[in-house]
Structure formats: C-alpha cells, structure tokens
A and B are shown apart, each in its own frame.
Chain A
Amino acid sequence: MKRGEMQAVWRELSGEVMKEVEHWREQHPKATFREIEVEIDQQLAGLRAKMLSDTAMASAATDWEERAAGEVCPKCRVKLEGKGKKKRKLETRGGQEVELVREYGVCPKCGQGIFPSG
C-alpha cells in the first residue's frame, strides 16, 4: 500500500472510531471514567492494529527480489530461491491480530529456516 493510500484508509478508520465513541457516549450518558477508558481503548485497538500492519509492511523487505535475491545459504553456499508470499499473524494489545504478508525463500538444498538479517 502506498503512502497516500495508507493515510486515506487510516483517516476513514479514525472517522469511524470517533463516530462509534460519540454514539457510545450518547448511549451511556452516566458512564464512569473507567468505562470510558475501556470503551475508547477497545475502539482504538482495531485502528492501532491496522496501522501496525500497514506500517510494518511498508518495507522493501516484503519483496524477495528487492531484498534477498542473490543471497546464498550460509550452510550450503547455494543461491536461495524465492517461494512467493506467506502470511503471518501476530497478536497485539486489545486482543487484535496483525497480519503480515511477505515474500520468502528457501535453500533448495537443505530447506533450512535461516533468516537473512540487516
């Protein structure tokens, strides 16, 4: 997702969060501060997870060709092969899931899980 697209999605989501909070307050005019805290945290959790996911994915490292093409397996000294995309889900605050979709590769000889770093 490009920079402008991310901002547009986040703006839309923030607008929804604000509307939801406003609506909730109308339904709960006598809510305690603690109840308001819990509600706002819940509403913001989804936006936070979406921003985490989009921001983390805005990297050249999601693309195998850009980042790791030409690298060799440190064990076998064989050129690594790109294998396409794989999803990974992480759990974060508010019980939210953050989904990362990134390209990966394997060593055609040993197939070992060794990550290229930095």
Chain B
Amino acid sequence: MAFVRSVGKGFFPLDEELALLPGKLSPQAHEELVRLAGWMPSFEKAAEVFEDFTGIEVSKGMSRNYTEEAGAAYEEIQNEEVEEVERKKPPAMEGAAKMLISADGATPHLRWVQVWSPSCMGFGQKRERW
C-alpha cells in the first residue's frame, strides 16, 4: 500500500479510495470551480457563476485557492513530463560549424499602398561549395 501526505490529521482509507480532495467540495464541484476560475476574468466572478450553476456558495478566496492549487499541481505534472521527455530523448546531432539565415520578400501592388511582406525565410547550413 502506498502512502501520500494529506492535509488532515489521521489515516482515512475511504477518502483515499474515493480520491477525495481536501476541502468542502465534492470532486466534481471542485473541478467545475477550478475550470470556471481558470477561464473567467476574476476569481470573484467565477465564484458567483459557480454558485448560480451549482447552488454551492463559495468565497472569492476559496475560488482563488482551489484554482491556484490546481494550477500548481498541473505545473508539477508538466515538469515531470518534461523531465521524462528529456531523460528519454535521443542525443542531439552535432550542429554545423556555421549556419545562415536568408530572408526573402515580395511587394504586392495594392490599389492605394505598396506593402513589403516577408514571405519566406530559409535556414540553412553553410557549405563550402553551392
């Protein structure tokens, strides 16, 4: 059996089995609040809309805390994924001694103005003979 640290005092097997999160909201309500607060312009507004939709009263502070905690947890997951990719990636090929960048452009004739627009950019490895 694996162990994870909780915020409460005591060992609660049922909470762990049900994957309950700390706090007063059910997991579904918790997720809905976080998703709303992640998109809406303010935590307060998200709390208001959440209450309208679910009938559950939450404060602006709770809206902020839950969302920031979820954001931090997601960041941790992303960092772990990056570390995993970096651990497994093949070694990079050796780079060229010199590289060059070449920009090209076009001048479309519009009715009133002329506009120069970069249409393509090439990256290449400098070779001794072309």
Q: How far is the CB of A2 from chain B (nearest CB, A)?
A: 17
Q: Would A118 and B16 count as touching, CB distance under 8 A? A: yes
Contact (A117, B11) CB under 8 Å given A61-B16, A92-B56, A98-B26? no
Residues of B within 8 A of A91 (CB): 24-26, 29, 56
Q: Would A59 and B17 count as touching, CB distance under 8 A? A: yes
**A104 interfacial by beta-carbon distance below 8 Å:** yes
Q: How far is the CB of B47 from chain A (nearest CB, A)?
A: 13
Contact with B along A42-84 (1 / 0, CB 8 A): 0001000000100011010110100110010010000010010
Q: Would B8 and A113 count as touching, CB distance under 8 A? A: yes
Give CA–CA (A116, B5) in the complex, Å. Answer: 9
**A106 interfacial by beta-carbon distance below 8 Å:** yes
When C-beta atoms are compared, the residue in chain B nearest to A115 turns out to be B16
Q: Would B13 and A116 count as touching, CB distance under 8 A? A: yes
**B57 interfacial by beta-carbon distance below 8 Å:** yes
**Interface size counted on chain A using CB atoms at 8 A:** 40
Residues of B within 8 A of A80 (CB): 11
Give CA–CA (A94, B52) in the complex, Å. Answer: 10
**A89 interfacial by beta-carbon distance below 8 Å:** yes
**B15 interfacial by beta-carbon distance below 8 Å:** yes
Residues of A within 8 A of B2 (CB): 116-118
Residues of B within 8 A of A115 (CB): 3-4, 6, 11-13, 15-16
Residues of A within 8 A of B106 (CB): none
Contact (A94, B16) CB under 8 Å given A86-B10, A114-B4, A115-B6? no
**B18 interfacial by beta-carbon distance below 8 Å:** yes
Contact of B11 among A95, A98, A114 (CB under 8 A): A114
**B101 interfacial by beta-carbon distance below 8 Å:** no
Q: Would B20 and A90 count as touching, CB distance under 8 A? A: yes
What are 15 A-B pairs with beta-carbon distances under 8 A?
Answer: A59-B18, A80-B11, A90-B20, A91-B25, A92-B26, A93-B26, A93-B56, A102-B15, A106-B9, A114-B3, A115-B4, A115-B6, A116-B1, A117-B4, A118-B17
